[in-house]
Amino acid sequence: MRYQPLPSELYVTNRQRLYALLPPRSVVILHSNDVLPTNADGSLGFVQNSDLFYLSGIDQEETILVLFPDAGDPKQREMLFVRETNETIAVWEGEKLSKETASAHSGISRIHWLQDFETQFRAVMCQADQVFLNSNEHQRATIPTETREHRFTLRCQSEYPLHDYRRLAPLMHDLRCIKQPAELASLNEAIRITSDGFIRLLKFVKPGVHEFEIEAELAHEFTRQRARGFAYTPIIGSGANACVLHYITNHCECKDGEMLLLDIAANYGNYNADLTRTIPVNGKFTPRQRQVYEAVLRVFKKCCEMLRPGVIIREYQEQVGLLMTEELIGLGLLNREDVEKQDPEKPLYKKYFPHGTSHHLGIDVHDVGHTWKPIQPGMVFTVEPGIYIREEGMGIRLENDILIGEHGNTDLMAHIPIEVDEIEALMLR
């Protein structure tokens, strides 16, 4: 791996926090994600199951984690199963985890080769009453493929139909939404790398540059700083492309007089930053561009103040809608009389601001958490308001990552330029 591993104490602590939520005689079984094929003998880059990584720190395919804190045999209370290497694997794929390395990363003393799983699995199932199994439960997720964990769930229910099966996801969501200091260290490193990439772009962007060239500059900066790569497929949209919320083709030329929307961030140690900035291609805002930009910036700053412990995201989003409505009226995009007569279920501001403002951030870009429970200290949220004016060929979004505190928030991206004058000064050539 490129990144420096986090201390194993983090994963020991995470497992202990999980144990406190389990009923007696519960076993937890997690599988790594599949290695997904492409064509012929090709495959996509491996991405670890987020929950397995959170509880073990292991970033290798074909890994199984078994947790049974009430096991009669202490050796069965925490077991990690990893793929045994051999000379052929070493030649073709490179080094895999040894038992010693896996133990050092995870803080788990009992490391088995994968072929030992069946024996240990049967022994554990004969003792357990509740079996907690995992699935990718996320309100944004649609899973069209059968995962390794889904296949295992079907197998368990077939072979051991009388056990009490339970969902692990709600417990993991409660745990993962509160970030530990070591997690914040990785997140801050991802943010630092992201910041360096953005500063590099401010000196690179000019009329005639293509969006894919900008993507290449970022890829170079991220990789040279030990990032895994992009936290997500980068959105680099110039002109009207900025009005396409998930624009990822990044193939157009950036033209003089256009705005350029950059939704770009690095992944470091499996933790993701999430940054959006919008800059003038020629380095100078027009009066109209400045007007719209500063409207978005005002909403952004107010949102950062509104996110605090006790707030419920869905209610917060309603308040953001009111703020945005006033800004859109000021920009001449909405009429106050029309707003007063609008259908509350279809607010007019959504024509120009159709997406949410904040989401959890961490191991996943859209990290697990709840939109109907109060915000707590230790959570990390994005703040990303935007205005998209298709008839003017202009989209502007601004986004920072915010750590919720007991008595005040910390903007983890406060050092990244966002004011109009800052942007123009850095782009000055």
Q: Which of 122, 246, 251, 390 is catalytic?
A: 246
Residue 274 catalytic? Answer: yes
Write out the two tokens for 136: 């990718």
Rounded-to-integer distance, Cα 261 and Cα 238, Å: 6
Q: Which of 61, 221, 384, 401 is catalytic?
A: 384
Residue 399 catalytic? Answer: yes
Write out the two tokens for 210: 């293509």
Residue 11 catalytic? Answer: no
Rounded-to-integer distance, Cα 305 and Cα 287, Å: 27
Q: Which of 34, 189, 274, 364 is catalytic?
A: 274
Q: Which of 41, 116, 232, 305 is catalytic?
A: 41
Q: Which of 183, 215, 263, 327 is catalytic?
A: 263
Residue 263 catalytic? Answer: yes
Rg (CA), the chain: 24
Residues 306/319, Cβ–Cβ less than 8 Å = yes
Q: Which of 112, 176, 360, 366 is catalytic?
A: 366
Residue 246 catalytic? Answer: yes
3-state secondary structure of 113: strand
Write out the two tokens for 253: 């030329």
Helix (H) or strand (E) holding 220, with range, is helix 211-224
Q: Which of 11, 54, 352, 388 is catalytic?
A: 388
CB atoms within 10 A of CB 310: 7
Residue 108 CA: distances (Å) to CA of 25, 55, 62, 63, 103: 20, 10, 17, 13, 5
User: Which strands, in side-by-side order, build the sheet including 78-82?
Assistant: 110-113, 78-82, 64-67, 26-31, 130-133, 164-167
Q: Which of 355, 415, 419, 422 is catalytic?
A: 355
Rounded-to-integer distance, Cα 408 and Cα 344, Å: 32
Q: Which of 51, 221, 399, 401 is catalytic?
A: 399
In DSSP terms, 59 is beta-bridged to none
Residue 355 catalytic? Answer: yes
Residue 31 catalytic? Answer: no
Residues 295/387, Cβ–Cβ less than 8 Å = yes
Q: Which of 31, 112, 192, 359 is catalytic?
A: 359
Q: Which of 77, 112, 173, 397 is catalytic?
A: 397
| Best CA proximity match to 68, nearest among 8, 123, 106, 13 | 123
Residue 73 catalytic? Answer: no
The catalytic site residues sit at: 41, 246, 263, 274, 355, 359, 366, 384, 388, 397, 399
